[in-house]
């Protein structure tokens, strides 16, 4: 396989001039811009960008020149021009808070099936945000994920988003039999629900990161509205052990979390993560249980829920971090029909 040779600045300029010869038809008022409308992008350049997963202007504008250059095998000078053109086309400068509020009207909410848990989350699991649930085994983290995978397919008036779901399974916990149970309880066609859930098993942390990056291709073509990672830290915890490997682990984890957030922002989808816990030996009184992943996961997650098991099938959810909602608790139960009050 021939090795890629980085073009010289002169070759880059010649390529850019050649691409700019392509005549751009003026867009009508209100018509959405596409990748091909960027100055300096010809048919070949647009095809390379799309093959690399950059199918929208927002995805290009949110990327760095280095990312575009590596993905499309072009020089950084060309990549910088492409990124700047996308940012100018999208007007990515300062906006008033009123404009931001208008933009937030596009945000959707996925019902959890429990009215009390929905109220705790301000109406359900939110799009354009990362919702993390952590707790001990059996606390209901995966069950909440299964329920969301079904509920996202419901009509909007019933608390869904009429979209598909993508699951990255790191602990071999996905069970289609449980999905069928939950779909039947909601009055949905189980086979149709199963066809709208795309599952990939991650074998290590590198594979997990690659699956998240490649998910962009499925998101647009299949109307994906929810991405589930169950669980986030399982492979990171086993692949990196000891204090000596903490720094590289956290750097990779940081990139992974930011890739998920960028996908949520650019495609208006919800991201739900489950996380493992550990017991803190320095806690003498109270609950010693705490999440893993450190401050990286804490800062990257928009909403954090601590789940714990109570009597019988009852679970207690505590919202411990949110940018706009108060801390609080909700009680729900996990039954054959799914999550209920």
Contacts 24+ apart (CB under 8 A), 48-55: 48/72, 48/73, 48/74, 49/82, 53/213, 53/214, 53/216, 53/217, 55/216, 55/220
Predicted TM-score of the model (pTM): 0.80
Q: What is the pLDDT of residues 162-191, one digit of tens each?
A: 999 999 999 999 999 999 999 999 999 999
Q: Using CA atoms, how far apart are residues 153 and 33, in angstroms rounded to an integer?
A: 29
* Structure confidence at residue 35 (pLDDT): 80
3 state DSSP class of 162: coil
E strand or H helix that includes residue 275: strand 270-275
Tokens describing residue 50: 């799309």
| Other residues' Cβ atoms within 10 Å of the Cβ of residue 78 | 23
Q: Would you state the pLDDT for residue 150?
A: 97
Please tell me the predicted confidence (pLDDT) of residue 19. Answer: 46
Q: Judging by DSSP bridges, how do beta strands 328-335 and 314-321 pair with one another? A: antiparallel
Q: Which of 311, 341, 317 is nearest to 329 (CA)?
A: 317
pLDDT at residue number 22: 40
pLDDT of residue 47: 82
Are 182 and 337 in contact by the 8 Å Cβ rule? The answer is yes
Name the β-bridge partners of 273: 132, 229
Quick check: helix, strand or coil at residue 237? helix
3-state secondary structure of 84: helix
pLDDT at 111: 96
Q: How far is CA 224 from CA 107, 122, 124, 292, 329, in A?
A: 15, 22, 17, 28, 30
pLDDT in tens, the chain (341 residues): 555 566 665 565 555 544 443 444 445 444 566 787 776 677 777 888 887 778 778 788 888 888 888 877 778 888 888 888 888 877 777 889 998 899 889 999 999 999 999 999 999 999 999 999 999 988 999 999 999 999 999 999 999 999 999 999 999 999 999 999 999 999 999 999 999 999 999 999 999 999 998 888 889 889 999 999 998 999 998 898 878 888 889 999 999 999 999 899 989 999 999 998 887 777 667 677 788 888 889 899 999 999 999 888 899 999 999 999 999 999 999 999 999 98
């Amino acid at each position: 396989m021939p090795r890629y040779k980085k073009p010289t600045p002169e070759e880059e300029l010649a390529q850019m001039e050649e691409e700019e010869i392509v005549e751009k038809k003026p867009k009508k008022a209100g018509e959405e811009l596409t990748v091909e409308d960027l100055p300096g992008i010809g048919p070949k350049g647009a095809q390379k960008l799309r093959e690399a997963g950059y199918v929208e202007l927002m995805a290009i504008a949110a990327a760095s020149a280095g990312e575009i250059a590596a993905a499309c095998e072009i020089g950084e000078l060309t990549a910088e021009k492409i990124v700047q053109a996308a940012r100018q086309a999208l007007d990515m400068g300062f906006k008033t808070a009123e404009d931001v509020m208008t933009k937030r009207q596009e945000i959707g909410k996925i019902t959890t099936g429990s009215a009390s848990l929905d109220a705790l989350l301000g109406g359900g699991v939110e799009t354009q945000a990362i919702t993390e649930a952590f707790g001990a085994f059996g606390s209901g983290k995966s069950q909440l994920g299964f329920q969301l995978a079904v509920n996202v397919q419901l009509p909007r008036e019933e608390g869904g988003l009429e979209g598909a779901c993508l699951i990255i399974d790191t602990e071999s916990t996905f069970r289609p039999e449980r999905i069928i149970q939950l779909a039947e309880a909601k009055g949905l066609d189980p086979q149709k629900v199963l066809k709208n859930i795309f599952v990939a098993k991650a074998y290590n942390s590198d594979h997990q990161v690659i699956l998240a990056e490649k998910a962009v291709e499925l998101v647009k073509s299949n109307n994906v509205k929810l991405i589930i990672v169950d669980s986030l830290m399982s492979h990171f915890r086993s692949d990196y052990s000891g204090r000596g490997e903490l720094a590289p682990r956290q750097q990779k984890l940081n990139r992974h979390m930011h890739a998920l957030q960028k996908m949520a922002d650019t495609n208006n989808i919800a991201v739900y993560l489950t996380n493992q816990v550990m017991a803190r030996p320095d806690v003498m009184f109270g609950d010693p249980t705490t999440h893993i992943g450190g401050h990286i996961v804490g800062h990257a997650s928009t909403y954090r829920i601590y789940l714990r098991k109570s009597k019988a099938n009852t679970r207690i959810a505590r919202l411990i971090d949110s940018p706009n909602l108060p801390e609080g608790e909700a009680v729900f139960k996990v039954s054959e029909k799914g999550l209920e009050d």
